[in-house]
Amino acid sequence: MALRNIREFGDPVLNKVCLEVKEMTARNKELIDDMFETMYDANGVGLAAPQVGVLKRIVVIDTTGEDPLVLINPRITEQDGEQTGYEGCLSLPGKTGIVTRPNHVKCEALDRDMNPIEIEGEGLLARAICHELEHLDGHLYTEHLEGELLDTDSLTDDDEDDEDAEEE
């Protein structure tokens, strides 16, 4: 495994539409392993392949540090409810902003072995799924900001306690 370079806001690779994954290859397995290592190293809760410069529909998420989730060719099939809170992105280090997302989503995808799975997420997991899936179509949370993009340094302690002040 190896750390990969996280592409930052302004890099055109972050605005491209990613391609479906047709088969699990050794190269894709290595990419997934590297994405987890890179995400954990950066203290993130989610990472999408284009954030490491690879235009494939692969996302990794772990909102608790104990639930590593691989989503290949994912799509959201149901969403309801609403949550409004701070969101961040590993491609915009040190920045955060308020975004409203569904509070509950269902997502169909393939797992690491290319078997179909259905994931249900609430709260932070729902937010992370929405955020990461958008990366696969070249979109960033900055498109949904309510108010200004803020420096995480400018938040008060109370704001930082917000469970959604995570980087994805």
Residues annotated catalytic, as ranges: 132
Q: Rounded to whole angstroms, how far apart are CA atoms 8 and 115? A: 32
DSSP secondary structure letter of residue 7? P
Cβ distance to Ni ion smaller for residue 164 or 168: 168
- Pick the piece of the chain touching Ni ion (CB under 5 A) from 53-61, 82-90, 107-115, 119-127: 82-90
166 near Ni ion, rule: CB under 5 A: no
- In what side-by-side order are the strands of the sheet with 58-61? 46-48, 58-61, 69-80, 104-110, 116-122
- Pick the piece of the chain touching Ni ion (CB under 5 A) from 72-80, 83-91, 96-104, 151-159: 83-91
Cβ distance to Ni ion smaller for residue 60 or 89: 89
Candidate residues 14, 52, 54, 89; the one interacting with Ni ion per rule CB under 5 A: 89
3-state secondary structure of 36: helix
168 near Ni ion, rule: CB under 5 A: yes
3-state secondary structure of 118: strand
Cβ distance to Ni ion smaller for residue 49 or 89: 89
128 near Ni ion, rule: CB under 5 A: no
Q: Measured from the CB of residue 135, what is the shortest distance to Ni ion in angstroms?
A: 6
DSSP strands (E only) in 19-145: 46-48, 58-61, 69-80, 83-87, 95-101, 104-110, 116-122
Q: Measured from the CB of residue 131, what is the shortest distance to Ni ion in angstroms?
A: 6
Give residue 113's Cα distance to chain centre: 20
Give the interface with Ni ion as residue ranges (CB under 5 A).
Answer: 89, 168
